[in-house]
């Protein structure tokens, strides 16, 4: 049973963490290259946020939202 768990540990340390080890080694050479994937994700998030805001603005211009429904009486 001990060999089974050591095999799982070896799999994670030697195989599945290889990309992280490569990023760690790349960090010493170039911070920008090591963080390129983070920058890509940030650009995608900004694009999605601005698209979402544009859609909300268009929806608000249509005026189709029901404003007569209130969840609680004290909200007016």
Tens digit of each residue's pLDDT (9 = 90 or more) over 8-59: 999 999 999 998 899 889 988 999 988 998 999 999 999 999 999 999 999 8
Q: pLDDT band at 76, cuts 50/70/90? A: low
Does 30 fall in a domain?
A: yes
Q: CA 13 to CA 6: how far, in whole Å?
A: 10
Does 51 fall in a domain?
A: yes
The model's pTM is 0.57
Domains: count for the chain: 1
Per-residue pLDDT, 66: 77
Domain that includes residue 45, residue range: 2-64
Between 60 and 72, where is the model more confident?
A: 60
Does 76 fall in a domain?
A: no
Give the C-alpha distances (Å, rounded to integers) separating 43 from 25, 32, 40, 53.
Answer: 25, 15, 5, 15
């Amino acid at each position: 049973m001990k060999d089974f768990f050591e095999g799982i540990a070896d799999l994670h340390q030697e195989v599945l963490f290889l990309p992280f080890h490569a990023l760690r080694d790349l960090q010493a050479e170039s911070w920008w290259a090591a963080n390129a994937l983070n920058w890509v994700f940030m650009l995608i998030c900004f694009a999605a946020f601005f698209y979402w805001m544009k859609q909300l603005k268009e929806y608000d211009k249509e005026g189709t939202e029901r404003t007569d429904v209130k969840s609680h009486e004290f909200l007016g």
